[in-house]
Chains A and B, each alone.
Chain A
Amino acid sequence: MTTFALQTHSLVKTYGFGARQIRAVDNLSLNVPEGSIYGLLGRNSSGKTTTIRMAMGLARPTSGEIKVFGLNPARDPERISVLRRAGYVPEDKMLVALSARKLLALNRSFYPETWSDDLARKIVERLELPLDTPYLKLSMGNKTKSALAAAIAQRSQLLILDEPTTGLDPVALDELLRLLVEDCTSGGRTIFLSSHQLTEIEQIADHIGIVDRGRILLEGPLDDIRASFRRLTVTGASLPTAHPSILNIRRQARATEYIVQRSPDSFIAELTSNGATILASTPLSLNEIFLELCRTGESRDKAAQPEVFA
Chain B
Amino acid sequence: MNSPVSEVFIFAFVVPFIVVIIVVVLLQRKAAAETGRSHGIQPSYAPVDFPPAGFLLRRFSTPERAFLLQLRSALLLIGGTVAYVFVILMCAGLFPRFIAKFGLPGGGQLSIWHSYLFGITLFAGLYTILAVILGFIARGGIGGARAVFLRTRPISRRLIFWGRIAPGVAALLTAFALAVGLSLLMLVVCYGPVFNHLSDPASQLRVASFDHDATVDLAHTLQTSACRLFLSTATTLLLDFSFVVASCSLPMGDARPRSVVAGALILLGILSQTFLTLFREDAPKAARFFFLYSNLGPPPPYVYAAVPIVVSIALLVLASFFDECLEI
Contacts and interface: CB of A to CB of B under 8 A. Distances in A.
Given A132-B35, A132-B38, A132-B43, A83 B153 contact: yes
Interface in B143-172: 145-146, 148-158
Interface string A84-103: 10101010101010000100
Contacts of A80: 154-156
A120 B66 contact: no
A59 B325 CA distance: 9
26 contacts: A58-B148, A58-B152, A58-B328, A59-B327, A79-B156, A79-B157, A81-B154, A101-B43, A101-B45, A104-B45, A108-B48, A109-B50, A109-B62, A109-B69, A110-B66, A110-B67, A110-B154, A111-B63, A111-B154, A117-B47, A121-B44, A124-B43, A125-B45, A130-B43, A132-B43, A137-B35
A287 interface: no
Contacts of B151: 56-58
Interface in A118-146: 120-121, 124-125, 128, 130-134, 137
A77 B64 CA distance: 14
Contacts of A96: 146, 149-150
Contacts of B146: 94, 96
Given A76-B156, A132-B35, A92 B45 contact: no
B148 A57 contact: no
Contacts of B44: 121, 124-125
Contact of B152 (A83, A125, A137): A83
A134 B28 CA distance: 9
A90 B45 contact: no
A79 B31 CA distance: 38
Nearest to B144: A94
Nearest to B157: A76
B211 interface: no
Given A108-B48, A111-B154, A117-B45, 12 more contacts: A59-B327, A76-B156, A76-B157, A76-B158, A79-B156, A83-B153, A90-B152, A101-B43, A104-B45, A109-B63, A109-B66, A132-B31
B281 interface: no
Binding site of B, secondary structure by majority: helix, strand, loop or mixed? helix
A112 interface: yes
B189 to A, nearest CB: 41
A88 B28 CA distance: 30
A90 B154 CA distance: 16
State which size class the interface on B falls in: 35 or more
Contacts of B6: none
A16 interface: yes
B34 interface: yes
B47 A58 contact: no
Nearest to A105: B48
A102 to B, nearest CB: 9
**Interchain residue pairs A-B with the least CB separation, the first 5:** A109-B66, A83-B154, A96-B149, A94-B145, A84-B154
B125 to A, nearest CB: 34
A130 B146 CA distance: 21
A117 B44 CA distance: 11
A132 B34 contact: yes
A77 B159 CA distance: 12
A279 interface: no
Interface in B39-92: 42-45, 47-48, 50, 62-63, 65-67, 69-70
Contacts of A109: 50, 62-63, 65-66, 69
Contacts of B70: 106
Given A76-B156, A76-B157, A110-B153, A134 B148 contact: no
Contacts of B96: none
Given A76-B158, A110-B154, A94 B148 contact: yes
Contact of B63 (A86, A110, A117): A110
Contact of B45 (A81, A106, A120): A120
B283 to A, nearest CB: 37
Nearest to B43: A131
B282 interface: no
A106 B43 CA distance: 18
Interface hub of B44, B70, B149 (most chain A Cβ within 10 A): B149
Given A77-B156, A110-B63, A110-B153, A60 B327 contact: yes
Contacts of B28: 134
Contacts of A121: 44-45
Interface in B102-157: 145-146, 148-157
B148 A16 contact: no
A293 B69 CA distance: 50
B227 to A, nearest CB: 42
B35 A124 contact: no
B192 interface: no
Nearest to B153: A110
A96 B63 CA distance: 16
A112 B327 contact: no
B193 interface: no
A80 B328 CA distance: 17
B289 to A, nearest CB: 36
